[in-house]
Structure 1
Amino acid sequence: MDINSLEIKKILIIDLAFIGDVILATPVTRALKTKWPEAEITMLTVPFTQPVAQMNPYVDNTLIYDKRGIHRGLSGMWQMAKELKQYKFDLAVCMNFAVRGAVVAWMARIPYRLGYDAQHASFFLTWTASHIRKGIKHETENHLEVLEPFGISTEDTSLKLEPPAGAISSMEAKYKQYGIEKGKYYVVCPMGSYERKNIPISMAAQLIREIKSTYPVYLIGGTKEKIELISYAQAGQLSEAHVFAGTLDLQELAVFIKNAAGMVTVDTGPMHIAQAVNCPTIAVFGPTDPTVWGPRNENSCYIYTREQCSPCWGKGECKDNVCIKKIKAKDLYEKLQQYSGH
Structure 2
Amino acid sequence: MREIRYILVNFPTNLGDTILSFPAFDLIKENYPSSEIDAIVSSKTENFLSYHKFINQIFIYEKRWRIKEKIAFLKRLRKKYDLMVDFKNSFLPFLLRIKKHTPVIRRFSKDIHAKDRYLKIVENLVKKRKISLKAEFVLDEERKNFWYSLNLDNAVFVAPSSNSSLKRYPPHELEELLSFLSSKKKVILLGSKKDSSLYRQISLSSVINLMGKTSFLDVWFLLKNFACICICVDSSILHLASYLNIPTVALFGPTQEEIYGPYSEKSVVIRKNLKCAPCKNSTCPYSGECMKISADRVVEAVEKILKE
Q: 1:135 aligns with which of 96, 105, 110?
A: 110
Q: 1:6 & 1:74 partners in 2: Cα distance?
A: 33
Deviation at 1:260, TM superposition (A): 2.3
| CA–CA separation in structure 1 for the residues paired with 2:267 and 2:8 | 32
C-alpha separation in 2, matches of 1:109 and 1:18: 26
Aligned-pair RMSD on alpha carbons? Answer: 2.9
Paired with 1:254 and 1:248, the residues of 2 have a C-alpha distance of: 10
Quickly say closer, same or farther: Cα 1:160–1:20, change in 2 above 3 A.
farther
Inter-partner Cα distance in structure 2 for 1:34 and 1:152: 10
Does residue 145 (structure 1) correspond to residue 112 (structure 2)? The answer is no
TM-score, structure 2 normalization: 0.87
For residues 4 and 192 of structure 2, what CA distance do their matches in structure 1 show? 39
Deviation per CA, 1:215-239: give whole Å up to 9, x if none. 23232112232211333xxx2x323
Q: 1:81 to 1:27 in 2, by over 3 A?
A: same
SS in 2 for 1:89: coil
Matched AA of 2:74: A
Are residues 241 and 171 of structure 1, via their aligned partners in 2, closer, same or farther at CA, if it must alter by over 3 Å? farther
- Alignment partner of 2:251: what SS? strand
The runs of 5 or more residues in structure 1 that have no matched partner are 115-126
Partner secondary structure for residue 218 of structure 1: strand
SS of structure 1 residue aligned to 2:210: strand
Question: Distance in 2 between the 1:153 and 1:175 partners?
Answer: 37
What is the CA-CA distance between 1:53 and the residue it aligns to? 3.3
Higher relative contact order (CA 8 A, sep 6+): 2
1:45 aligns with 2:41: yes
Q: Is 1:106 the counterpart of 2:94 in the alignment?
A: yes
Shift of 1:55: 6.0
| 1:142 aligned partner, one-letter code | R
Query: Percent sequence identity over matched residues?
Result: 23
Whether 1:286 aligns to 2:256 is no
More helix by share: 1
Cα displacement (A) at 1:165: 4.4
Q: Residues 270 and 151 (structure 1 numbering): CA distance in 2 closer, same or farther, change over 3 Å?
A: closer
Q: Secondary structure at the match of 1:202?
A: helix
- The residue identity in structure 2 corresponding to 1:280 is P
Displacement of 1:197: 0.5
Query: Does 1:90 find its partner at 2:82?
Result: yes
The aligned runs of 1:138-287 (5 Å cut-off) are: 138-147=113-122, 150=125, 154=129, 156=131, 160-166=134-140, 169-176=142-149, 180-231=150-201, 235=202, 237-239=203-205, 242-258=208-224, 259-287=226-254
Deviation per CA, 1:84-129: give whole Å up to 9, x if none.
238x1111121114x3xx23x4343434343xxxxxxxxxxxx423
Q: TM-score, normalised by structure 1?
A: 0.79
2:305 counterpart SS class: helix
The 8 Å contact of residues 56 and 160 in structure 1, kept in 2 or not, is answered as no
Structure 1 residues 53 and 159, CA gap change in structure 2 (3 angstroms): farther
Once the two structures are superposed, what CA deviation does each residue of 1:226-263 show, in whole Å capped at 9, x if it has no partner?
Answer: 211333xxx2x323983323311111111112212322
Deviations 1:43-91 (A, max 9, x none): 221133134435656x3324131417xx8232221222233238x1111
Which runs of 5 or more structure 2 residues have no equivalent in the other structure? none
Partner secondary structure for residue 190 of structure 2: strand
Instruction: Write the distance in 2 (CA, Å) between the matches of 1:34 and 1:306.
Output: 42
The answer to whether the 8 Å contact 1:14/1:44 transfers is yes
Q: Kindly state the Cα deviation for residue 142 of structure 1 after the two structures are TM-superposed.
A: 1.1
